[in-house]
C-alpha cells in the first residue's frame, strides 16, 4: 500500500455517476485539482445492485459490476491510474441472490443448502436464553429472521444486520467457493487491496459471543492468505474495544484507527489532548487513519469494553463519552440526533451519524486542524468524499430514505463538486493532502513530543527533512512547519 492519502467514495455519488466519469474526475485534465491527489481509492460497493437494502452492502451478485456504473473493464482502467481497494462482504449476501433463491425453491435438494446459516446450524441442540443473550449485537434485537421458503418450508435464518442481508456459512464448501470467486474476480480486475466488511461476525459458535472469537481470527488469517496469494493486501474492518483493535492489528495487514475520530472531537470539545496522547502512545501503526467514512462516527472504539463484565475502562470515562455524544448533537444543531439510534432505521448502537464538519459545528479551522492531526499520525490516511468536499449533513436525503447514515452520503453533481473545490477550506485541505503525499519527512521517524495537557506536538524526521505540527485544543493556536530543499522552512496557517 502506498504511503499516500486515499479517497473513499461511492462511484455514483461523486459526480457523473459512473466509473468513466470518476476516472476523469480523479485522473484527467491538466488543471484538475484532484489529478494525482490520491495514492489510492476505496471504491465503496459497486456491485449489482448499488441501491439495495444497504447501499450495495447486500449484493445480489458480488462478482458483477452494476451496469449503471460500467463493467470490469472500467474498473481495470481506473486501476491502471490509481491503486484500488474494494469490499469483500464476507458475512452475508442478499436474500435476492441466485444462491438463496435456489435454496428457497429447492430446500434440502439445493446445492446451497448449508450455505445459509439457520438457528439450528449454529445451535444444533437448541438455544437457551443465556446463549442468545451472549451473542454480541451491533443493533437491537436477535440476529434472526423467520421466513417461509418458496417450497413452503419454514426456517429461522441468521441475519446479523438487516433481514435482507442473510449470513452465510463461510466454512461450508459453497460458502468458501462463493468467497473465493469474489477474490478471483477482483484479482483479474487489478484490485490491489480488499476490505473485509463485517469480518468480525463471520464465525458463529453456540454459547459464545459470535464476534471476534479465536475461530474468527483463524478465518481472517486463512482468507487473508488467499487474498495475498492473488496479490492483494487486506484491511479488516472492526468496530470494537480499543485493546481488541491492538490485538487484531498484530494479526492482520491493516486495521482502521476508528478511535481517532471521537478522540479528535473529544480533544476539541473538552480542550484536552490527554486521551488522544494516551492513544497515540499505544495505537497500531499498520492503521488506516480516518475522520469519516460511509458509516457513522464510532463511539464504542473509545468506550469501556461492553463484552467484559468487569467493565474494562475505555480511553475516556463514561460520563465524558455521554457528554461527547451530546456535544455532537448540539454542534450539529440536533441534526445528528435525528439520524442516530431510534430516530433512524439503521440502529447502530455504536455510531453517531453526522458529517465530521457538522460534528465540529461547521468550524473550518477546527476541521482543518483535525485533518492535519490525521495526516501526521503514522499509518495511511483516508479521506471520505463528503469530507473531501467539506460536505454538510444531507437532511433532505435523510428525510427521503429514513436511513440514518444517509445524512453523510450526499449525491454530488459535477457542478457541486466544482463549487466545493473552489472554497478556501477545501483548497487548504488539498494543500495538506499534497504535503502529506509528497514531503519526504513522512517516510521517516515519527515522534510524539512532550507538551502540556491541552496541547499536542507531532514530528516527523527523515534525515534533513522534517515536518512538525503543534496545536492547542483550547486556544486553537497552532503551527505546521516543514523543511524545503535549499530554502528556509515553510509554515502553514490553517483556517485563516
Closest CA to 368 of 452, 409, 428: 428
Q: What are phi and psi of 382, to 5 degrees?
A: -125, 140
Active-site residue (options: 83, 167, 174, 237): 237
For 148, residues 6+ apart whose C-beta sits below 8 A from its C-beta are: 154
Distances from the Cα of 367 to the Cα of 30, 285, 332, angstroms: 28, 23, 14
CB atoms within 10 A of CB 439: 18
Cell of 152: 413452503
Examine the residue annotation and report whether 233 is marked as an active-site residue of this protein.
no
Judged by DSSP in three states, 211 sits in: coil
State the Cα angle at 394 between 389 and 395, rounded to 5°.
160
- Put the strands of the sheet holding 445-449 in their side by side order: 445-449, 455-462, 465-472, 478-484, 487-492
- Are 320 and 299 a contacting pair, CB within 8 Å? no
Q: How far apart are CA 466 and CA 246, in angstroms?
A: 28
Q: Identify the burial level of 296 via C-beta atoms within 10 angstroms of its C-beta, where 0-12 means exposed, 13-18 middle and 19 or more buried.
A: buried
Q: How far apart are CA 369 and CA 282, in angstroms?
A: 22
Examine the residue annotation and report whether 197 is marked as an active-site residue of this protein.
yes
Residue whose entry in the numeric block shows the C-alpha cell 485522473: 27
Active-site residue (options: 58, 87, 174, 197): 197
Q: How far apart are CA 265 and CA 360, in angstroms?
A: 7
The alpha carbons of the chain give a radius of gyration, in whole angstroms, of 23
The catalytic site residues sit at 197, 237
Amino acid at each position: 500500500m502506498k504511503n499516500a492519502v486515499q479517497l473513499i467514495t461511492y462511484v455514483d455519488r461523486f459526480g457523473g455517476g459512473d466509473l468513466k466519469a470518476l476516472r476523469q474526475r480523479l485522473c484527467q485534465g491538466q488543471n484538475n485539482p484532484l489529478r494525482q491527489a490520491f495514492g489510492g481509492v476505496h471504491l465503496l460497493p459497486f456491485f449489482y445492485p448499488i441501491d439495495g437494502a444497504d447501499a450495495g452492502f447486500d449484493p445480489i451478485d458480488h462478482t458483477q459490476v452494476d451496469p449503471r456504473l460500467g463493467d470490469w473493464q472500467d474498473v481495470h482502467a481506473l486501476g491502471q491510474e490509481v491503486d484500488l481497494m474494494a469490499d469483500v462482504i464476507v458475512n452475508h449476501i442478499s436474500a435476492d441472490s441466485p444462491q438463496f433463491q435456489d435454496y428457497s425453491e429447492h430446500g434440502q435438494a439445493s446445492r446451497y443448502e448449508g450455505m445459509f446459516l439457520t438457528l439450528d446450524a449454529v445451535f444444533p441442540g437448541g438455544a437457551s436464553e443465556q446463549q442468545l443473550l451472549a451473542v454480541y449485537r451491533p443493533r437491537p434485537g436477535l440476529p434472526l429472521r423467520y421466513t417461509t421458503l418458496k417450497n413452503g418450508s419454514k426456517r429461522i435464518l441468521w441475519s446479523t444486520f438487516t433481514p435482507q442481508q442473510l449470513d452465510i456459512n463461510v466454512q461450508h464448501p459453497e460458502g468458501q467457493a462463493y468467497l473465493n470467486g469474489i477474490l478471483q474476480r477482483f484479482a483479474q480486475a487489478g484490485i490491489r487491496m480488499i476490505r473485509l466488511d463485517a469480518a468480525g461476525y463471520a464465525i458463529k459458535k453456540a454459547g459464545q459471543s459470535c464476534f471476534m472469537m479465536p475461530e474468527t481470527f483463524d478465518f481472517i488469517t486463512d482468507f487473508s492468505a488467499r487474498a495475498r496469494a492473488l496479490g492483494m493486501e487486506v484491511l479488516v474492518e472492526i468496530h470494537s474495544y480499543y485493546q481488541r483493535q491492538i490485538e487484531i492489528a498484530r494479526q492482520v495487514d491493516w486495521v482502521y484507527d476508528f478511535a481517532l475520530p471521537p478522540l479528535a472531537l473529544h480533544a476539541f470539545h473538552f480542550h484536552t489532548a490527554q486521551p488522544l496522547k494516551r492513544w497515540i502512545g499505544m495505537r497500531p501503526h499498520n492503521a488506516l487513519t480516518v475522520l469519516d467514512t460511509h458509516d457513522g462516527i464510532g463511539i464504542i472504539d473509545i468506550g469501556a469494553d461492553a463484552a467484559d463484565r468487569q467493565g474494562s475502562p475505555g480511553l475516556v470515562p463514561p460520563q465524558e463519552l455521554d457528554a461527547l455524544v451530546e456535544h455532537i448533537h448540539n454542534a450539529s444543531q440536533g441534526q445528528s440526533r435525528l439520524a442516530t439510534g431510534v430516530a433512524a432505521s439503521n440502529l447502530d448502537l455504536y455510531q453517531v451519524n453526522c458529517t465530521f464538519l457538522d460534528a465540529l459545528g461547521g468550524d473550518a479551522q477546527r476541521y482543518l486542524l483535525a485533518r492535519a492531526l490525521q495526516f501526521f499520525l503514522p499509518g495511511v490516511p483516508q479521506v471520505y468524499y463528503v469530507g473531501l468536499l467539506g460536505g454538510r449533513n444531507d437532511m433532505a436525503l435523510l428525510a427521503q430514505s429514513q436511513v440514518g447514515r444517509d445524512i453523510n452520503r450526499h449525491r454530488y453533481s459535477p457542478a457541486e463538486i466544482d463549487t466545493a473545490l473552489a472554497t478556501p477550506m477545501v483548497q487548504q485541505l488539498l494543500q495538506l493532502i499534497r504535503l502529506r503525499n509528497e514531503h519526504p519527512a513522512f517516510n521517516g521517524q515519527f515522534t510524539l513530543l512532550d507538551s502540556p495537557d491541552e496541547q499536542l506536538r507531532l514530528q516527523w524526521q527523515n534525515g534533513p527533512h522534517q515536518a512538525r505540527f503543534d496545536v492547542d485544543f483550547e486556544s486553537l493556536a497552532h503551527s505546521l512547519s516543514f523543511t524545503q530543499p535549499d530554502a528556509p522552512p515553510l509554515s502553514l496557517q490553517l483556517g485563516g
